[in-house]
Amino acid sequence: MDSHGEYEQRVVWTVVGTGIGPLLLAATREGLVNVVFHATDAARDQALEGLAARLGTEPVEAPGSPLLTEAIRQVEAYFAGSRRDFDLPLDWSLIAGFNRQVLRELASGVPYGSVVGYGDLAGRVGRPGATQAVGMAMGANPLPVVVPCHRVVESDGGIGGFGGGLDTKRQLLALEGVLPEPLF
């Protein structure tokens, strides 16, 4: 506790190796707060600086933390093909408003092995004309993979954009059986 009798914010993090490269996982007492693709040294350091600035505390590397143990287990199981759904507490504090509404709908309403169009997702949250705003929400997703923005595609059948890169999006969709495995 701090001097005011309140619990200080604590952010713990680790990097997990996956089939799409290293992922940084960060958690607070509320739950998983951030997942970062391609978490090599530079990307990891930049993400940790951003978390410190936004959450007001320096993240601590703690791979054995109880706050991360279950997230690590579930992420590893997902990439091993033995888990289809994540059942983790999530800390939504890095996202608000329309973006949070869209991401919550995505997390609860678009299951493993399926995709949804940007426009369809906009309609699900009562804003059928907000296709571009849905795209912006996907780009702002602090919890990719766990909140599956890779499952959002263009209505004309195009794959759409992806913060982790299009190759990563293709790999995730192939893992879930939506696309064929890449040949190379």
Q: Which long-range contacts (CB under 8 A, 24 or more apart) does 179-182 make?
A: none
The C-alpha angle with vertex 37 and arms to 22 and 65, in degrees rounded to 5, equals 60
3-state helix, strand, coil in the chain (%, to 5): 40, 15, 45
> Within 13 A of 168's CA, how many CA atoms are on the CB side?
18
Positions marked active-site: 149
| Helices within 85-163 (DSSP H only) | 97-109, 118-124, 131-139
Strands 116-117 and 152-153: parallel
